[in-house]
Chain A
Amino acid sequence: MFDLTGKNALITGASGGIGGEIAKALHAAGATVGLSGTRVEPLEALAAELGERAHVLPCNLSDKEAVEALPKQAAEAMGSVDILVNNAGITRDNLFMRMSDDEWDSVLNVNLTSTMKLCKGVLRGMMKARWGRIVNISSIVGATGNPGQGNYAAAKAGMVGMSKSLAYEVATRGITVNCVAPGFIATAMTDKLTDDQKDKINAQIPAARMGTPEEIAAAVLYLASNEAGYTTGTTLHVNGGMAML
């Protein structure tokens, strides 16, 4: 099941914990992967680990021109972009009353606007091919909110509304657009938490543990597959039951 042989996938934020696992999962299913991210070193390390069918495509998503160039670079490197995974994201947390315009703008810009531009950039090829998969990585906080993350939650909720609208428009062309909304996932970022902090988080999760990047990657793999052709406009919540939506 879930054979992606011959498909070309562009993954943003592939230098991070979740993005790297998504790239590995799609690659293991046979896809050629375009690994995008700001930090070149981890991307090259991942490409070396994957071996064949892996391309490094550095891109700073806060740079408008670089974002617009990325779909073209990916199509040139791989031949096409059949699967797009918008995984990259940043946080600039602050209390709403203290949040600066810059904190708001940069999070909306990188997390939402760049996602829109990348979707737009790959659509032409997908429409011609009559096949495409777009998977946008949202977040549980886009649905539930989170103190200190007004900007991040807005961007992640915006992603869901945008994905649904696009899903409507392109459904007749064999293109699906879905979101995956992770809950707490164990990555380098959560490793920094103290045991006490981790216990408090786990107490809020019915599964009583954080998720793994592999568990997010599995959801992405499904949505990227041929088998998921009738699943569009949906958000797959992968959160250990923390929010049952």
Chain B
Amino acid sequence: MSDIADRVKKIVVEHLDVEEDKVTETASFIDDLGADSLDTVELVMAFEEEFGIEIPDDAAETIQTFGDAVKFITEAS
């Protein structure tokens, strides 16, 4: 697993208080990991800070799963 994926996973595990093995490629933050819509906003904020990137609102809406997040951040950074 890439460094980016590790760091994203760490944020997700800490923020949503879920088991690490639940955070799979296709795991949806809301449907599988128990996030509410505000949690997803906070996750995006945390990603922005961790990776020093800007995630615009329309892009943030497309980040639904752990895999989406890793893909977006990999491309952006």
Provide the bound-state CA to CA distance between A124 and B41, in Å: 10
Task: Assess whether A169 is interfacial by the CB under 8 Å rule.
Answer: yes
- Number of A interface residues at 8 Å Cβ cutoff, please give it: 7
Q: How many residues of B contact A (CB 8 A)?
A: 5
- Pick 5 A–B contacts, CB within 8 A, sort by A: A127-B38, A169-B38, A170-B38, A172-B36, A173-B38
- Determine if B32 is an interface residue (Cβ-Cβ < 8 Å): no
Contact with B along A142-173 (1 / 0, CB 8 A): 00000000000000000000000000011011
Across-interface contacts of A172 in B (CB, < 8 A): 36, 38
Whether A124 contacts B38 by the Cβ 8 Å rule is: no
Docked pose: A169 CA to B41 CA in angstroms: 11
Give the dominant DSSP class at A's interface. helix
Q: Which residues of A sit under 8 angstroms from B45, Cβ to Cβ?
A: 124, 127-128
Residue B42 CB within 8 A of the other chain: yes
Closest beta carbon of chain A to B60's beta carbon, Å: 13
Residue of A nearest to B36 (CB): A172
Question: Bound complex: CA of A30 vs CA of B38, how far in Å?
Answer: 31
Closest 6 pairs between A and B when the two form their complex, measured CB to CB: A127-B42, A124-B45, A169-B38, A173-B38, A172-B38, A170-B38
Please name all residues of chain A whose beta carbon is closer than 8 Å to the beta carbon of B42 when the two chains form the complex: 127
Shortest distance in angstroms between A44's beta carbon and chain B's nearest beta carbon?
35
Q: How far is the CA of A170 from the CA of B45 in the complex (A)?
A: 15
CB-CB under 8 A from B41, the residues of chain A are 127
Query: Chain B 19-44, CB within 8 Å of chain A: the 1/0 string?
Result: 00000000000000000101001100
